[in-house]
Amino acid sequence: MQRIARPLPFVFSALFLPFCSAATLAQSVADEPRVEEVLILGSRAPGRTAGDLPVPVDVLNPETLASTGQTELGRMLQAVAPSFNFSSSSVSDGTDALRPATLRGLGPDQTLVLINGKRRHQASLVHINTSVGRGTAGTDMNAIPAAAIGRVEILRDGAAAQYGSDAIAGIINIVLKDASAGGQVSGSYGQTAEGDGETLNLDANHGFALGDDGFINLTANLRDRGYTNRADPQGLCLYGGCVDSDGNGYLEPSAEFTEREINGPARDGFRIGDADSTQYAFALNAGLDLGPGELYGFATYSSRENASGAFYRNPTGTNGVDGALLSDGLNPVDADGFLPIIASQIDDVSASVGYALDLTARTNLDIAYTYGENTIDYTTENSGNYSYANYLRYQNGLSDSEVREQMPRAAKAYGLALDLQTLNLNLTHTAGDLNLALGAEWRRDGYAIMAGERYAWDDYDTDPDTGEALYPQDAGGAIQGFNGIAPASAVDESRQVMSVFVDGEYQLTDNWLVSAAVRWDDYDGFGDTLNYKLASNFHLTEQLSLRGAFSTGFRAPSMQQLYFNNISTQIRDNGAVTVGTFRNDSNVVRALGVPELSEEQSENISLGLVARLSSQLSVTVDVYAIDIEDRIAISNQLTAEDDPGDGLLQAALNEANVAAAQFFLNGADTETRGVDVVATYNGLNVLGGNLDITFAGNYTDTEVTSTYVPQGGAIASLDPSVVFSEQDISIIESWQPEDRLALTGDYRRGDFSATLSFNRYGEYTVVDSSAQTYSAELLTDLRLGYDLTESLELYFTGHNIFDVTPDEVTNTSSRGGLFESAPGAEDMASDTVFRYSRRSAPFGFNGALYSVGISVRF
């Protein structure tokens, strides 16, 4: 059986080829006169070369990914693909465990992810805290074990007209290994230069023959990573009674609490860095000749446990519970305060089965069904519900010590689930120089929110019928750190989508390829949309060709953006605030005057140059412009202070019983301009060995050209900058590096191999309490390997070997102060507990990471 990866239901004129060098991304256009076989995201016309590509594509092989020294797929892609970003944030709830992945500086939900050419489901999480991707829901890139990947293909162009919703920025297609024999077992252990973040990674992959002509390829992975912590000490007076007795501006501890103030756990109680994480992941890929065609399929499964820290609850930070409740005047959960832990269980499963056959020598039929589901269950640990302390004290008459003994310390907060089902029918036909594809797709999206335990969300201080306080101190309800969701906010929604497409390409002359695609999609929610794409590649000479494309596109509102809602307590510099996130069809949102969500609409223009300067040297340059209208975003958190004076906003907040409200809306129009450059030089002889060099760069600039405020309801009279704030705009425009450069050398001589990479991350600006621009930084990665035998390799990897970190933060004073821990020890004072920005860190702030490993091939 000749095994090829089966086509997408929406065939287009991009051609892919295996990446020949282990250096990094490239279009591999230098190896003429090779004729590459059509792969997944490609034309159905045989005999095309890579120079025929009308759009830019990166193809990354397993060696390229492994050379980064990373164990997470998202981090691997970021290290080798400058147009891809995988930003870190900390103390940002679920975003700590599931990072946003972006392409060309756009949102996580504007990149379509595929597995073996089939649409991948999103994660059930929507990023509602202040981080890159705020208001969006992307795909969990780390759910796929890297050891299962045969290659990763990144199409850097608007492709919604071919592939449907989400493909505004481009497509990432993960192709699983399909070997029917052999395999590899590897293991590595590493940690940061600071001594934390210990990471154990174990991989096993093996291919087996299935019958005479089939295959089954299996992969298993274990990744166990300890947390990292880069928090500075708190600079506050934690227990009360501090004074500046010597007039030097530094607070000194009161005599009653001197020892606790200096040596208590609250001083260094924060945990700011990567979450503690353990993941088991499995993948299966299979194909078998059956009857006149081929039966094929794949399955993936991952289960990940994460634990990250929330804001530390200080000894006197009792959220309404004062000294009249507890005699020592300290926190009702723990006298020294406590760090709430957000524990998340993320399970991800997908399965696809299809059958393909040749109806004639020129006509192929492919039908496939795919199911995917992502679930997240949140448990808040090492915490407590302050209002329950009131209940125990006043209702049950317990003493202070008994209150602390009987306070539950953990509760299930809530659960999220998102599932996706697709059924594809695809027919392709070749007639001379004309290649046609047409087909249809049925899709079902499902989304659910499962309520948590009562202790996680209830306010035991408040009469549920009258809303009046039951006890003298009206303490804050819900478990601290990560509130639960009540049954009234539970969700169980679904929608169906029908799509029809036609796609064609024609070889006008030996030098000129043209292609076109038209796609119609009809959604339960907002109706139908029609999009198209035109693209072409023209060979000016044997060494030089031009390529370009124009397309319209769309992105439908995600299920999370339509239906997510909760009420949570968020910590600000001036205290705790109850914030409601309200679903788009709720009474609160309608009263505010926010209309129903509609699709984002885009126009994408790209123009590229491909230069094959020699058999070893190739250069590609692609410029692009992406305009998006009605971009869906989450609003600013509106409070009573934003009320223009008519009282309507205040009334809406009172009705919802929250201090602040946020919601999803079609909030902005944006313009994105950029350029990608890729240059490769292969086969350079250095000291008797072979050196491959790759340079890749990306520049992207996004501007919010307009923001939208509804014309009716409670917020109609608000200034647009109140609904969609300076910070909201900056998240879209400036929180990701404006430019990225990568230079990689891949060297091999005999049994020795080395990969040296330089990654430059450009400037970015984060708005917190004020705007701060972070300097460009250069990171250096190194991998050294030695083959002890033909099948056994020992290797060392160093990521960021010179221990580069971002600029230290200056635009927040959270938990900072001038506290004098002991005479002459003013250096313990801290401007903020956040040494680095917790909002956005493109390459994280852990510093250097070193690991050693062993790999056995068989």
pLDDT, average across residues 710-714: 78
Q: Which helix (H) or strand (E) holds 561?
A: helix 559-563
Determine the Cα–Cα distance for residues 5 and 173; give it in Å rounded to an integer: 12
Per-residue pLDDT tens over the stretch 589-620: 988 889 999 999 999 999 999 999 999 999 99
Residue at 201: amino acid letter: N
Give residue 72's pLDDT. Answer: 93
Query: 325 φ, ψ to 5°?
Result: -85, -50
**Given a cut of 90, is residue 736 above it in pLDDT?**
yes
**Given a cut of 80, is residue 63 above it in pLDDT?**
yes
Give residue 16's pLDDT. Answer: 28
Range with lowest mean pLDDT among 335-349, 388-402, 799-813: 388-402
- pLDDT above 90 coverage of the chain, percent: 68
Contacts of 746 (CB under 8 A, 6+ apart): 21, 22, 23, 24, 67, 691, 692, 693, 694, 753, 754, 755
Give residue 32's pLDDT. Answer: 34
**Given a cut of 90, is residue 106 above it in pLDDT?**
yes
pLDDT, average across residues 765-785: 95
Determine the Cα–Cα distance for residues 558 and 774; give it in Å rounded to an integer: 32
Determine the Cα–Cα distance for residues 87 and 90; give it in Å rounded to an integer: 10
Per-residue pLDDT tens over the stretch 475-506: 888 999 999 999 999 999 999 999 999 999 99
pLDDT, average across residues 707-718: 81
What predicted TM-score, i.e. pTM, was given to this entire model? 0.92
Residue at 346: amino acid letter: I
**Of the candidates 425, 521, 424, 585, which has an alpha carbon nearest to the alpha carbon of residue 166?**
521
**Given a cut of 60, is residue 712 above it in pLDDT?**
yes
Most confident of 398-407, 414-423, 610-619: 414-423
Range with lowest mean pLDDT among 29-33, 674-678, 748-752: 29-33
**Given a cut of 90, is residue 322 above it in pLDDT?**
no
Residue 246 CB coordination number (10 Å): 10
Residue 43 confidence class, pLDDT cut points 50, 70, 90? very low
Residue 470 confidence class, pLDDT cut points 50, 70, 90? confident
Architecture of the domain spanning 50-234+269-806+841-857: Beta Barrel (2.40)
Give residue 157's pLDDT. Answer: 93
**Given a cut of 50, is residue 33 above it in pLDDT?**
no
Residue at 616: amino acid letter: Q
Give residue 464's pLDDT. Answer: 78
Range with lowest mean pLDDT among 681-695, 702-716, 769-783: 702-716
**Given a cut of 70, is residue 509 above it in pLDDT?**
yes
**Given a cut of 60, is residue 15 above it in pLDDT?**
no
Residue 51 confidence class, pLDDT cut points 50, 70, 90? low
Helix (H, G, I), strand (E, B) or coil at 543: coil
The mean of the pLDDT values for the chain is 88
Residues 229, 308, 461, 408, CA torsion sign: negative
**Given a cut of 90, is residue 351 above it in pLDDT?**
yes
Per-residue pLDDT tens over the stretch 225-284: 999 999 999 888 888 778 888 787 778 888 888 888 888 899 899 999 999 999 999 999
Half-sphere exposure (CA, 13 Å, Cβ side) for 326?
A: 27
Q: Which residues make beta-bridge pairs with 798?
A: 782, 850
